[in-house]
A = this chain, B = another copy of it.
Amino acid sequence: MPVTVVGSIAFDAVKAPSGEREKMLGGAAVHFALAASFFDDVHVVGPVGDDFGPAELAVLEARNVDVGDIEHVAGGRTFFWRGEYSDDFNSRETHETQLNVFEHFEPKLSDASQASDVLFLANIQPDLQRQVREQCDAARFVALDSMNLWIEIARDSLVKTIATVDCLILNDEELRQLTGKAKMVGAAREVLSWGGPSVVIAKLGEYGAALVTADDYFQMPAFPLETIVDPTGAGDTFAGGFVGYIAAHPGDERSQAMLRRAMAYGTALASFNVEDFGTDRVARLTGDEVSGRVAELEAIMHFSDTPLDLRD
């Protein structure tokens, strides 16, 4: 089933123990789209400025992503983010955020983008996310990401938007902040009790991700890498693999086994994303590499118990 993603298209400047880059293609919608493109047709919706040229478009087009709804704002500049990672990559500091063309972004979806069966609302202002959700009322599976900023300054709107989607994807800390629950599992179950999403994904950074539904709990470690180059966009790449896999299995959106497999594809794609700066690694990735890493994940996680008499 075709997938539409609405969110940021950006240039990122990154400083990390692995090196520095001044201007790389990035943004949640871009990372998501590249990952999802391994599974189905993808439409990207988001604004860019005059500085966004053929070279950037080519990265998306090379993976057959539909760029027709990338809105070129004449005279504007593309969203820009500058950040720095700590020595162990476990924290990062934002040095600069220029909203630029994103400041007055009003999503306009073509008929094709509106007709997608699967929709991903990347992290943008929750009123806008709801507006997009309403334009895509035929969508059978809608997933949403957000961030601490909206929980802090627009919680009511965010909660209202969450009520309209099938799947909430947040990091552990955001989930706890959103619900006020001390532990991630309790926080995820709290969101499920709100009656909106039936699937909650807690992103655990270098520890992987957890899948929580009414009847199921599943946790997958991140693929074990000895070194990483640039974690920027890993969460959106995960979302692209996860949601893309679901899109490739129409009618099966509520199958626990399918959702678990979708976690593996998200995890595999995210692990490639961090192996190089920006979109570089995923842009040159092959389907066989993804499948190979999913098989490795399966091996990494496998265990089966054998009966043992324990001493009472």
A residues with CB within 8 A of B: 17, 37-40, 64, 87-89, 176, 182-186, 189, 204, 206-208, 210, 217-221, 224-228, 245, 248, 257, 260-261, 263-264, 286-288, 290-291, 294-295, 298, 300-306, 308-312
Chain B residues contacting A227 (CB-CB under 8 Å) are 182-183, 186
> Roughly how many angstroms separate A17 CA and B300 CA in the complex, as a whole number?
35
Known: A17-B182, A218-B300. A305 touches B87 (CB 8 A): no
Copies in the complex: 2
> Roughly how many angstroms separate A245 CA and B305 CA in the complex, as a whole number?
12
> Roughly how many angstroms separate A298 CA and B307 CA in the complex, as a whole number?
13
Chain B residues contacting A264 (CB-CB under 8 Å) are 303, 305
> Roughly how many angstroms separate A261 CA and B305 CA in the complex, as a whole number?
6
Known: A221-B219, A264-B305. A311 touches B183 (CB 8 A): no
Known: A261-B303, A298-B303, A303-B301. A311 touches B221 (CB 8 A): no
- Is there contact, CB below 8 Å, between A301 and B182? no
- Is there contact, CB below 8 Å, between B185 and A218? no
